[in-house]
């Protein structure tokens, strides 16, 4: 899910990369083009292993690698056919709770909110209305990464982090909440990338396109900060048009 604390004029050209890391963690890289009248927060719910702590998400600064997704795209010489099918997969808090940490990650201020009840521990600039998650019971036990973004028209440099996941599948936050409401269908302009383990790419199906070579051939590994497996192929899937408004999970089990 990509949720904004204020309405946005437009969001387009969303790119998401996912890979399973060691010790039950998952890497996630997210980028998009955004047009917003006011400064706002972007919130990405995550299926974290619970109970989660506020240090459990590790933010990764990719400001020096703004072309991360351009390089990824270069590993796929043919244009894939647009896909029109998606896959889908929420409190009070003590008044004396300590504020959550805010860290600088490239051009962004970011925080990890371990649970819905912890939102009131976050700086007011990042908060949603107290009842914002009541209509989203599926996210009642999720954690949340929060990024503060500037106003105006901009291409967001890749936002990257790893988190302890409770799911054996790779998770892509693709549900849209751009106007404070959850609609059954939404306009998608997404390109998903992943690196599944070993021969697990066989379970991806025909909707995923394979890169022509290993990541080391087209990615700048010195800038990617161990997010990628150098000697592994990457896979891509396009989601465009009016689709069911849902998150995407991809099997990552052996």
Lowest-confidence range among 15-19, 27-31, 117-121, 187-191?
Answer: 117-121
Residue-wise pLDDT for 229-239, tens only, equals 999 999 999 99
**Measured CA distances, 9 to 4, 36, 119 (Å):** 11, 5, 25
Nearest to 172 by CA among 192, 187, 188, 155: 192
Is the CB of residue 230 less than 8 Å from the CB of residue 214?
A: yes
pLDDT of residue 185: 82
181 Cβ partners below 8 Å, 6+ apart? none
Per-residue tokens: 192: 């998903």
pLDDT of residue 11: 78
pLDDT class of 57 with cuts at 50, 70, 90? very high
Q: Could you tell me the pTM of the whole model?
A: 0.85
Query: DSSP per residue over 158-206, as a string?
Result: EEEEEEEBS-SSEEE---EESSSS--SEEEEEEEEEEE-SGGGGGGS-T
pLDDT of residue 65: 96
Q: What is the CATH number of the domain that holds 56?
A: 2.60.250
Locus of tokens 């998400």? 57
Main-chain dihedrals φ then ψ at residue 52, nearest 5 degrees: -100, 150
SS3 label, residue 141: coil
* Cα dihedral 243, 248, 253, 254 in deg (nearest 10): 50
Is the CB of residue 74 less than 8 Å from the CB of residue 230?
A: no
Greatest pairwise CA separation for the chain in angstroms:
56
pLDDT class of 64 with cuts at 50, 70, 90? very high
More confident of the two residues 203 and 209: 209
Per-residue tokens: 189: 């302009």
CA 22 to chain centre: 18
Strand partners, 18: 28, 194
Strand partners, 11: 34
Is the CB of residue 121 less than 8 Å from the CB of residue 146?
A: no
Rg (CA), the chain: 17
126 exposure class (CB count in 10 Å sphere: 0-12, 13-18, 19+) = buried
Residue-wise pLDDT for 69-94, tens only, equals 999 999 997 755 444 443 333 233 33
Top mean-pLDDT range of 31-35, 149-153, 173-177, 210-214: 210-214
More confident of the two residues 76 and 8: 76
Which range marks the domain in which residue 215 is found?
Answer: 2-250
Query: How far is residue 8's CA from residue 10's CA, in Å, rounded to a whole number?
Result: 6
Domains identified in the chain, total number: 1
């Amino acid at each position: 899910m990509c949720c904004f604390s204020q309405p946005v004029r437009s969001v387009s050209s969303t790119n998401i990369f996912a890979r399973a890391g060691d010790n039950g963690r998952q890497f996630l890289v997210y980028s998009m083009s955004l047009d917003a009248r006011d400064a706002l927060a972007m919130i990405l719910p995550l299926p974290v292993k619970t109970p989660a702590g506020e240090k459990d998400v590790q933010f990764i600064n990719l400001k020096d690698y703004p072309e991360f997704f351009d390089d990824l795209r270069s590993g796929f010489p043919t244009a894939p056919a647009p896909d029109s099918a998606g896959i889908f997969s929420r409190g009070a808090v003590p008044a004396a709770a300590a504020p959550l940490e805010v860290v600088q990650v490239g051009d962004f201020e970011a925080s990890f909110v371990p649970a819905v009840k912890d939102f009131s521990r976050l700086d007011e600039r990042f908060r949603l209305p107290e009842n914002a998650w009541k209509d989203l019971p599926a996210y009642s036990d999720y954690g949340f990464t929060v990024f503060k973004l500037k106003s105006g028209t901009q291409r967001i440099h890749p936002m990257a982090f790893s988190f302890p996941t409770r799911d054996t599948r790779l998770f892509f936050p693709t549900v849209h909440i751009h106007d404070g409401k959850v609609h059954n269908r939404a306009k998608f302009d997404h390109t998903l990338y992943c690196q599944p383990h070993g021969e697990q790419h066989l379970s991806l199906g025909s909707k995923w396109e394979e890169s022509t070579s290993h990541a080391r051939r087209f990615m700048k590994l010195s800038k990617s900060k161990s997010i990628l497996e150098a000697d592994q192929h990457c896979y891509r899937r396009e989601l465009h048009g009016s689709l069911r408004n849902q998150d995407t999970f991809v099997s990552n089990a052996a």
